[in-house]
Structure formats: structure tokens, C-alpha cells
Copies of this chain bind each other. A is one copy, B any other.
Amino acid sequence: MNRKEGNINCLKQALAFCGLWIMMSLFTCGIAQQRPKIAYTPAKDLTLVGKIAPTEKIFHRIDTNVFDDLPRAVKKRVVQSGGLAVSFKTNSPTIYAKWCTAGTTASATMTGVAYRGLDLYIKRNGRWQYAGIARPREGQDCASTTIIQGMDKEEKECLLYLPLYDETTRLEVGVDDGSTMQAGAYPFQKRVLVYGSSIVQGASASRSGLAYPARLSRETGIEFLNLGMGGSAKMEKSVVDMIASFEADAFLLDCIPNSSPSQVTQRTAYLIETIRKKHPDAPIIVMQSVIRERGYFNLASGKRIREQNDNVKTEVEKLLKKGMKNLYFIPADDFLGHDHEGTIDGTHPNDMGFDRMINVIKPKLMEVLVPIVN
């Protein structure tokens, strides 16, 4: 090899090295572009929405150490995060989440996303609008995911709903590093406590933002606080006393589905009168139970639901006759529409059933609530 050839070879090697270097840089930049650094903020540093009362564990709805005489089945439900959300503001084009739950498997009549995933809304043209979900990981307690990406860099108000039926143990919200991230304004005004069954807790909305108290809050601007207790809204004395102890501007009672007809007769007056004693001027609105679709075929089931609904009507009418003020009653006849397609299982509304129910109850609720807002 002469000097000229040696120089050419050296040049070739330099070019090859250079090429490799450029390719590696492009590759690294590519990865960097695909995976920007994420800055996570724990939910406790953002604005927690939907809390009925302070709790030691922030994603519990009720502190079961404070209310330690609650029935066991109630205790199980009130530590689940149904109805809670976090409010924040960011100009990040991408929003991420890392979260953990107790890892309960979703029931067959709910989606995994509603049961233990997250649901993001962003304010657009002055309205809260669906933006993205975070899917839980099958068989894992924790997950980490991108909720929405590719947005412009305008600052946005965000509202992230927590899982409906699992206990949330950790939540951090991520934005692209260098973006702004701040606790958001509290998005709703006043406090309407909604006490009820699985239907209030959110079964079977397809995602947590579609639970009916959440929809009512976004659509009216008034906060409907979720005290749904799947299977366990039975108006027990300890539960009633707890409910009456909470700060609230109004009470919506949707607790008929879980109580037997005789329990409805025995317990409804105590519930309403106990709330009235502690909240002399608060509107109390009592709803009949959603009609069980299966009751059109299962004769015993049909009879039971008619008795539950007849009995709660009788109890409310008695109190009205005795002169109780600011007590209202919503009959269930049109809640699900009339095509019998509004439930997942004959009991729990699907999103279509909830939509129809909201169309019936919202105007009635607003008649009662607008005066307390203004």
C-alpha cells in the first residue's frame, strides 16, 4: 500500500466512522424524540376533586378509621375511588399517567377502564370534553401510559377521573419535561351529596367520567359528590348518621335498589329525618330505583322492584303530609327509556341508560338546585 492508497483508506475509514456516528446520532435523536423526558407530579400536589370529607389516604372517599362502625360491605366500597378526580393545568402536548390500584379484577359487566383505569377531560370552547383514557395493565396493580399526545402547546385545563371500583393507591400525572404543570382551579361549585348503590358508584358506565354524578357535575357546574356503594346502600343507622354529618348544600338519595321492600319502609324516614335535623334548609331529593329489566320476565324480581318503589313513594308522601319542606321525589318510570336496551345486565344502566336517566332527572334537579346556586 503506497501513501496515496493509505490516505484514501484513512479517508474511507474516517467517512465510515462519520457515517456511523451520524446514523447513531439520528437513531438516538429519533429515540429521544419518541421518548421525551417526562416530568411527573404526584396527585397530592394537584387539585383533588370530589372529596366528601378529608381522609388519611387521599384516594379514599371515606376515612373508615373515623367512621369505624360502618358495615363491612360499606367499608369495602368507600375506599374505592369512584367519583374522585384531579384538576390541573398544563401546556404539554402529551399527558401521561402512572398509577396503582389494589389490583381487583373488573367484574364481567364493567370495562377494565371504568373499573380501574383513568379518564381524561380537557376544557374546550368552555366545556369539559373527553380527551383520552388510560388502560390498566391486565394482571398488574400498576400501569404507566400516555393518555393523549400530539396536542398544541396552548395551556389547557384538565380533569382526570380516577378508577370507579378499585382502590387507588398511587397516582402521578406526567407532562413533557419543560412544559408547565400546575394545580387547576376547583371546577365545580356547591356540594350535592349523592348517596346510592352501584349505579351511583358508576356501574356500568364505560369509563369513569360517564358515571352519572360525574356527568351531572360537568353538565351543570354544580358538584355531585359520589357516595355510591356497590351492593350496599341499605340506609343502615351508622351510614345515615355519617351522611348527615357531612357538609353539603343538598342531598340526592338513590338508595332504593339495594334495600328490600320492608327495609325501604323501615329505614327511609330515618334517613330523611336525620339529614333534615342536621341540614334544616338543604333540599333532599329522593329517587325511585331504576326499573329492573329482568323483572319483565322474572316475576318475583318484577314484584320486588315494584314494592321497593311503591314503598319509597309512600314514605316520602308521609313526610310531605307531615309538613316536611324542601323534600322532592323523582319517579323512575322513564329513567331507562322504553326500548329495554338501557342496561348491561337488567339492573345496571349502560351509557345509553344513564343518558336517558340524566335527561329525566337533570331538569328536575335543576328546578330544585338553581335557587341554591344563585
The residues of A with any CB-CB pair to B shorter than 8 Å are: 105-113, 117, 122, 124, 129-133, 135-136, 138, 148-152, 204, 206-207, 210, 215, 293-294, 296-301, 340-341, 343-346, 350-355
Contacts and interface: CB of A to CB of B under 8 A. Distances in A.
A150 B344 contact: no
Contacts of A138: 105, 108
Task: Give the 3 A-B residue pairs with the shortest CB-CB distance, closest first.
Answer: A108-B112, A150-B298, A351-B352
Contacts of A207: 344-345
Given A111-B110, A130-B340, A297 B350 contact: no
A350 B293 contact: no
A341 B351 contact: yes
A346 B106 contact: no
B149 A298 contact: yes
A122 B340 CA distance: 11
A138 B115 CA distance: 15
Most buried by B among A113, A150, A207, A297: A297
A234 B345 CA distance: 34
A211 to B, nearest CB: 12
Nearest to A346: B132
Contact of A135 (B108, B111, B341, B352): B108
21 contacts: A105-B138, A108-B111, A108-B138, A109-B206, A111-B111, A111-B204, A111-B344, A130-B340, A130-B343, A148-B294, A150-B301, A151-B297, A152-B299, A204-B206, A206-B351, A210-B341, A215-B341, A351-B351, A351-B353, A352-B354, A352-B355
A343 B136 CA distance: 18
Contacts of A148: 294, 297-298
A120 to B, nearest CB: 9
Nearest to A124: B296
B346 A130 contact: yes
A131 B351 contact: no
Given A117-B108, A206-B344, A294 B351 contact: no
A56 B192 CA distance: 58
A215 B339 CA distance: 11
B131 A294 contact: yes
Contacts of A215: 341
A152 B296 CA distance: 11
Contact of A133 (B109, B132, B151, B297): B109
A299 B341 contact: no
